[in-house]
Structure 1
Amino acid sequence: MADKLAGKIAIITGGGRGIGGGITQRFAEEGAKVAIVQRNEPQEKMLNESIIYMKADLSNSDQIASAVQAVVERFGGLDILVNNAGIMFEKTLDEMTEADWDQMMDINLKAPFLLTKAALPHLRKRSGASIINIGSIEGLASNPGHPAYSASKAGVHGFTAAVAVDHGHEGIRCNAIAPGWINSDLSELYIDSMPDKDRFRRELLIMHPVGRLGEPKDVGNLAVWLASEESAFVTGQVYVIDGGRTKKLPLPVA
């Protein structure tokens, strides 16, 4: 069977680790050429003829525009944009400063706007262009202490719908993926910070009907489908990928 993304060119922000790394891996396996766009250089072992790195501060509009242009010049076009890079911190409204709020919105919501705006002229030139925004189940609900994060991800979901409506007639589709708990270096550090990490991990597994936590490759598999022609009639949607966590009603602990 032919590679699903053969001949496609993709930009993946924050594609060097975590969820972004899982998407990068799967795109490359399916024949795409990938440009990882982020501030810090990814591990060298990730890079090859099909996966390159473009440095950019995603809070800087000039650097974003330059990175997109550089990718197009290097690979000869652009078919897929994955707005994955994001930040998260835990602060209540009382604890949060205006600068904290602005930082969250700049990276999680403004950067996807700037990247999409810079990519549109190039995506218009291609057949079957696809934009994939990484939202979150916290764009649909919220954990304690996440007002800024939840607001930013809800904004990503709304932005996804608007782009799909405005640019569908140009052959550009736009969808969002809303991951739940996905294993990563950062999630492991979070678990390790718990007073009783073993109990925390057990209870975390109980929250998921599938009996396991998510892996970056799980999100990568869904992203491949959304980037491919197999999803040609799909746009404006938010796909929750959380092992059933948001569908399971909690019961009191005995």
Structure 2
Amino acid sequence: MTDRLAGKIAVITGGGRGIGAGITRRFAEEGASVAIVQRNAPPETMLSDRVIHVGADLSRSADIAAAIERVVHFFGGLDVLVNNAGLMFEKTVDDMSETDWDQMMDINLKAPFLLTKAAMPHLRSRGGGSIVNIGSIEGLASNPGHPAYSASKAGIHGFTAAVAVDHGHEGIRCNAIAPGWINSDLSEVYIESLADSSRVRRELLAMHPVGRLGEPSDVGNLALWLASEESAFVTGQVYVIDGGRTKKLPLPSA
């Protein structure tokens, strides 16, 4: 432990499970005070005097503004915002309703905007800070049935660049992480629901040059670096973390 975030105060949306939990654990290990902002309470084992849960429905702008104010009131400020919470479903344009599209954009794109807007004066008052947005490799390409998800994540990548350009002079940096396949309880349920889960696991491994799938801690380590002063000259970037998956050209099966 090096306490790279000692004295820093962070908000992590969806920080109680999956990738978000990996980020929360790394931040806490490195000395940050963390507010997990999400609707449902995280496991009690994640909470402590420096890791709290702030309940919020991220589809409601009033909840978002109130959550940021509660964090600032409780901890005394804000230095890091991690926009991690997201929604995904599989529907083609033909299958998708306007309501489906709006729901995806509300959680994946509008909520990060509102969170950033609410956080900005508090970051500014601390002399700057770091915003880390969780995008996706699907903001660069797409899996079948993901037009809304891919659009929302591409939007996050563009939003990241724009915030970096507008607020760099204030010492506020903004970067994005684009994860590939990351192990989680949800991905495990998905794999096990498939007819030939053993084959799927083998094929997933074969897609990754590093020979394994990602872990929440992998993303947590990168988010930690982006939140810390070690990345002080880094802003407006999208970091792909996918074990080389998107760099490996597929070959036809034998």
TM-score exceeds 0.5: yes
**Which segments of 5 or more consecutive residues in structure 2 lack a partner in the other structure?**
none
Aligned twin of 1:197? 197
Partner of 1:178: helix, strand, or coil?
A: strand
Aligned twin of 2:130? 130
- Are 2:85 and 1:77 aligned? no
- Are 2:238 and 1:235 aligned? no
Aligned twin of 1:26? 26
Amino acid at match of 1:131: I
Amino acid at match of 2:65: A
Amino acid at match of 2:139: G
Conserved? CA contact 1:128–1:232, under 8 Å: no
Mapping for residues 84-99 of structure 1, pairs under 5 Å? 84-99=84-99
Q: In structure 2, how many angstroms separate the alpha carbons of the residues matched to 1:132 and 1:48?
A: 23
- Are 2:231 and 1:218 aligned? no
Q: How far apart are residue 126 of structure 1 and its match?
A: 1.6
Conserved? CA contact 1:108–1:153, under 8 Å: yes
Partner of 2:191: helix, strand, or coil?
A: helix
Amino acid at match of 1:90: E
Superposed CA offset, 1:36-70 (max 9, x none): 00011111111000100000000100110000000
TM-score (normalizing by structure 2):
0.99
Aligned twin of 1:173? 173
Amino acid at match of 1:74: F
Q: How far apart are residue 128 of structure 1 and its match?
A: 4.4
Conserved? CA contact 1:128–1:229, under 8 Å: no
Aligned twin of 2:163? 163
Q: How far apart are residue 125 of structure 1 and its match?
A: 1.3
Q: In structure 2, how many angstroms separate the alpha carbons of the residues matched to 1:193 and 1:2?
A: 41
Q: How far apart are residue 194 of structure 1 and its match?
A: 1.2
Superposed CA offset, 1:96-131 (max 9, x none): 000000000000000000000000000001244000
Q: How far apart are residue 170 of structure 1 and its match?
A: 0.6
- Are 2:72 and 1:67 aligned? no
Q: In structure 1, how many angstroms separate the alpha carbons of the residues matched to 2:31 and 2:18?
A: 20
Conserved? CA contact 2:209–2:244, under 8 Å: yes
Q: In structure 2, how many angstroms separate the alpha carbons of the residues matched to 1:115 and 1:93?
A: 28
**Which segments of 5 or more consecutive residues in structure 1 lack a partner in the other structure?**
none
Conserved? CA contact 1:124–1:172, under 8 Å: yes
Q: How far apart are residue 193 of structure 1 and its match?
A: 1.4
Conserved? CA contact 2:128–2:170, under 8 Å: no
Amino acid at match of 1:249: L
Amino acid at match of 2:243: G
Q: In structure 1, how many angstroms separate the alpha carbons of the residues matched to 2:23 and 2:131?
A: 13
Conserved? CA contact 1:132–1:174, under 8 Å: yes
Q: CA RMSD in A?
A: 0.7
Partner of 2:125: helix, strand, or coil?
A: coil
Partner of 1:176: helix, strand, or coil?
A: strand
Q: In structure 2, how many angstroms separate the alpha carbons of the residues matched to 1:126 and 1:205?
A: 44
- Are 2:251 and 1:251 aligned? yes
Amino acid at match of 1:40: N
Q: In structure 2, how many angstroms separate the alpha carbons of the residues matched to 1:103 and 1:125?
A: 33
> Runs of 4 or more off by more than 4 Å in structure 1?
none
Aligned twin of 1:107? 107
Conserved? CA contact 2:134–2:177, under 8 Å: yes
Aligned twin of 1:6? 6
Partner of 1:124: helix, strand, or coil?
A: helix
Q: In structure 1, how many angstroms separate the alpha carbons of the residues matched to 2:223 and 2:137?
A: 16
Aligned twin of 1:36? 36
